[in-house]
Every structure is written in structure tokens, then in C-alpha cells.
Structure 1
Amino acid sequence: MKNKAQEMKLIPAIKLYKLGRLSSGAAANLAGIPKVLFLTKLADYGVDTFQLTEAELAEELKRA
């Protein structure tokens, strides 16, 4: 992020994404940055890019 104003939009977007209230695309839109950049910024704040529950992961593994 280039400045504090941009970071002030990014932090709430990351929090809402982490809480499952926004998709990555919606959170990126809220932050005013491209989705790909948003996804890369998640690691800077210690947030997993993919958030699956144990049940969702088990279901995905069954489909594989």
C-alpha cells in the first residue's frame, strides 16, 4: 500500500474477509484494489488466503 489512507481501507476489508462477511472480491472492492493484490496482502496481515472449515475441507477431499 502506498499510504495510510489506502491502508485504512485495506484493514477493515481484511477483517471482514477474515470474519467471513465478505468474499475476497468484495473485500478487494471495499479496499479499492484488484482482487489479486488483495489476496497477496492477506499474508502481510497473517490471514489465510483460503478459509475452509474442517467439514468443508473433508468434503473437498471426498470430491478429489
Structure 2
Amino acid sequence: MEYKTKITIPEDIVLSLRTSDEDIVKDMKQTLAVKYYKERKLSLGQCAELAEMPKEDFIKLLSSNEISIFNFEDDEELLEDIRNA
């Protein structure tokens, strides 16, 4: 099931961006997905779905925003994970 909503963007903003409505919506979805992943509100898979992209591409998007998919509380936890690899 999908939930649809309507937002209104002032025409002068759309004209200033010089892009299509579809690209604006795509950018908004990707921006929200990155935000929600960073805040740990949604999982990686849910955020990729929101961004309408494969997980691999969403991981690249996170990387370009300097957000790691690895979540370690401190350096010791990271080192322990490396030792166990």
C-alpha cells in the first residue's frame, strides 16, 4: 500500500531551480531518506525504498553525504569487530 500526499512549492522556486517537478520530488525523497537514516528512524532498506533506489545506490548516496552504514559506539567496539572478522 502506498500513501500519497500533496505538497505545494511556490512557482518562483520551481523556476529558480530550473528542473522538473519529478526531479524536485526525487531530490526531496532522497534527502528525507538520508535524514531518516542518519537519525536511525528508518532502516537502510526502508530508506532505500523511500529514495526509490537499490540499497547499493543508497549506500553510495550515504557515502557522498559522509554518512557511514557502520554504527559503532566507540573505537573499542570497532576494534573488537575487526578482531572478530
Place the TM-score, normalised by the shorter chain, in its bin.
0.7 to 0.9
CA shift at 1:21, angstroms?
A: 1.4
**Residues in 1 aligned to 2:77 and 2:27: alpha-carbon distance in whole angstroms:** 31
Q: 2:78 is matched with which residue?
A: 57
Over aligned residue pairs, what C-alpha RMSD do you find?
Answer: 2.1
Partner AA of 2:24 in structure 1 = K
Say if 1:56 and 1:4 are closer, same or farther in 2 by CA, change over 3 A. Answer: farther
Aligned residues: 63
Greater relative contact order (CA < 8 Å, ≥ 6 in sequence): 1
Structure 1 ranges of 4+ moved more than 4 A: none
Q: How high is the TM-score relative to the length of structure 1?
A: 0.73
CA shift at 1:22, angstroms?
A: 1.3
Q: 1:43 is matched with which residue?
A: 63
Q: 1:21 is matched with which residue?
A: 41
CA shift at 1:56, angstroms?
A: 4.5
**For 1:30, which of 31, 50, 56 is the aligned residue?**
50
Give unmatched runs, 5+ long, in structure 2: 1-21
Question: Highest Rg: 1 or 2?
Answer: 2
Say if 1:21 and 1:59 are closer, same or farther in 2 by CA, change over 3 A. Answer: farther
- Aligned identity (percent) is 33
